[in-house]
Amino acid sequence: MEYRQLGRSGLRVSALTLGTMTFGGRGGFTAVGATDVEGARRQVDMSLDAGVNLIDTADVYSGGLAEEITGEVIKGRRDSLLVSTKVRMAMGDGPNDAGLSRQHVIAGCEASLRRLGTDRIDIYHVHEWDGQTRLEETLSALNALVSAGKVRYLAASNYAGWQLMKALAVADSHGLEARDAEYELVPLAVDQGLGILVWSPLAGGLLSGKYRRGSSPSGQTRQLSGEWHEPPVRDREKLYDSIEVLIDVAAAHGASPAQVALGWLLGRPAVTSLIIGARTDEQLRDNLGAASLSLTADERGPGQGQRPGPGLPVLAPARHGPRPPRPGRPRAARAAPSGLKTRAAATRWMNHAEPRDAGTTAGSGGRPIPATRNAAGTSLAPC
């Protein structure tokens, strides 16, 4: 297992992270999975044996039951692993049972600590933007939790680029150590020294290779069956094209399509770890195998032979359609970056045609890389 530095922090996390959204199966989360305590214990054992050192959960998963199960199965080995959880979503019907107010952030943290049976949370995420609470209040509450020793590192999930930069700017202006926000633009993450934790890297199972054009299994993935809508599929034909490339590359390596999709994401700029979750032990075992898969530069596609570091190019996301010329000024032609023949190819290289883009696979034998929209989510953790 490879261990990567999380952003500019000193924390090192495994390239694969165990996700727990499948733990519990209470309420609407039955569509995701219903792993009980013994099943969760097996999955945690398998993950730790494979070198995974981070378990990711959230207070809202099965209404807190996923945290309770996680807490039960990590008893006696808490000091040998890292735990990540989240706060923001509704945990009750009261007026202060949701959001990122000081009240809910601190109460949510205390409740998560009780359910997890631990005295600290290693990585604490704000789970989504709260437009009704001033950032100063949220960041002050988070900083208080860090100062109290209840939280070690901060992060944010499902933030748009402007939300992330606004949070970072407020943290800077107030001298807070809350350099932790989440999600959206990889160039922003590289520039700001953020590490990306990718959630749903297989798009809810769509990229497992089982779901092909005209020949999906009878027990369809929760996404295709309409039970779950994250991530949304805007172009199903492009999805199936991407799956075919996944299958071709997997056959050349003697690997599974899921391992190729995960291996490709592990080579993306600023990506620190992929949060993998599974309904069955067999799925988890297969996903863990992605940590040892090595794709060639050609399979990763143009410019994907290595993870960018200082001095390597980072492209901006494409716009939705051409920008109209300014009145009275001719529009200048722009050359594509070296090695990329078209603007579209450059866009695929970074897979940022729009927020939440993620490439699903690598090309084979010079084939272009299809980019499936919304194949994965991300969480950004700070410096």
- 134: which residues sit within 8 A by CB, 6+ positions away? none
Catalytic residue list contains 240: no
The span from the CA of 208 to the CA of 211, in Å, is: 7
DSSP state of 48: H
Task: Indicate which residue of 3, 61, 124, 240 is catalytic.
Answer: 61
For residue 113, count other CB atoms closer than 10 A to its CB: 19
The span from the CA of 88 to the CA of 99, in Å, is: 5
| Contact assessment for residue 59 and residue 125, using Cβ atoms and an 8 Å cutoff | no
The span from the CA of 287 to the CA of 73, in Å, is: 20
Residue 338, burial from CB neighbour count under 10 angstroms (0-12, 13-18, 19+): exposed
- 267: which residues sit within 8 A by CB, 6+ positions away? 295, 300, 304, 306, 307
Catalytic residues: 61
